[in-house]
Amino acid sequence: MKSSPYPAQDLRCRVLAWAVKLKVNPRVIRVQKMRRKWGSCSAAGTITLAVDLLDQDERFQDYVIVHELLHLRYAHHGRLFKALLSAHVPDGWRWENVSQREE
Ligand SMILES: [Zn+2]
């Protein structure tokens, strides 16, 4: 991927591309400083991603993005949630340890 002067913007574009793929509709996508989490999803449909996600591996970025977007459909990490997550991010299990920051 080309480097961009607006990396946070690129991250938001990735979220939108995944949202189309997953057929979910986030209302707001924010990229901001987060200390304890990589991402969060509010009941109102706001997806927030940690700005330092930009320094992480792209596959991990995808893992966090898909994880948060799936929360728009499933509030909890249930069977369907996990099935969809592993369908879209097949090596997602590799990132489970890294993603401890997330909930
Ligand atoms: Zn989660």
Domain ranges in the chain? 7-98
Q: CA–CA separation, 27 vs 42, rounded Å?
A: 10
Is 21 within 8 Å of 69 (Cβ atoms)? no
**In this predicted structure, what is the pLDDT of residue 46?**
96
Q: CA–CA separation, 6 vs 52, rounded Å?
A: 14
Distance 15 CA to ligand 1 centre (A): 16
Distance 66 CA to ligand 1 centre (A): 10
Distance 82 CA to ligand 1 centre (A): 10
Distance 33 CA to ligand 1 centre (A): 18
pTM over 0.85: yes
Distance 86 CA to ligand 1 centre (A): 13
Q: CA–CA separation, 56 vs 103, rounded Å?
A: 18
Architecture of the CATH domain 7-98: 2-Layer Sandwich (3.30)
**In this predicted structure, what is the pLDDT of residue 100?**
57
Distance 14 CA to ligand 1 centre (A): 18
**Regions in the chain scoring below 50 on pLDDT:** 1, 103
Is 26 within 8 Å of 69 (Cβ atoms)? yes
**In this predicted structure, what is the pLDDT of residue 35?**
87
The amino acid at residue 76 is H
Distance 64 CA to ligand 1 centre (A): 9
SS3 state at 61: helix
